[in-house]
Amino acid sequence: MENILLVVHLLVAFAIIGLIMLQQGKGADMGASFGGGASQTLFGSAGAGNFFSRMTAIFATVFFVTSFTLAVTAKQQTEVGDEFSLPGLEEMEIPAAVSDAVSDVPAAVAESVSDVPAALEDAAVDAKAVVDGAVDSIKDTASESKE
């Protein structure tokens, strides 16, 4: 049923496009206002809708109806029942390999963190030595320039 509805929807869409392309624009009536065409002049009566405009309105209505129907059928197909719902967290089983790996993480983090203070201390000593060397160099340069 959905496939038939989809084919009708596409055919109606192409029919609307064709009908719109065949219709005469409002700008074409301007030339008739200065010497021809009594019923559709610039300031005269607009006249009744012709065959193309009525067919366009009918096909547009069919297009909206098929669009709405396709949307409703698509929504009904995507609804999930209780049998497809996801299990709760307490109902899930964790594989043994994952639980072993997760239990090893705190130990690995503790080892890495215990190495941080020693590395920071070494970096601080190195930085102090560099700064002291730079200060001594500046003092030597300043004392030589005074002489």
Q: Is the pLDDT of residue 127 over 50?
A: yes
Q: What is the DSSP letter of 44?
A: S
Name the more confident of 105 and 75: 75
Domain boundaries, the chain: 2-79, 95-146
Q: What is the pLDDT of residues 15-61, one digit of tens each?
A: 999 988 888 776 665 555 565 555 544 444 554 458 888 899 999 99
Give the C-alpha separation, 112 to 116, whole Å: 7
- Let me know: does 2 contact 73? Beta carbons within 8 Å: yes
pTM: 0.43
- Let me know: does 63 contact 14? Beta carbons within 8 Å: no
Name the more confident of 40 and 107: 107
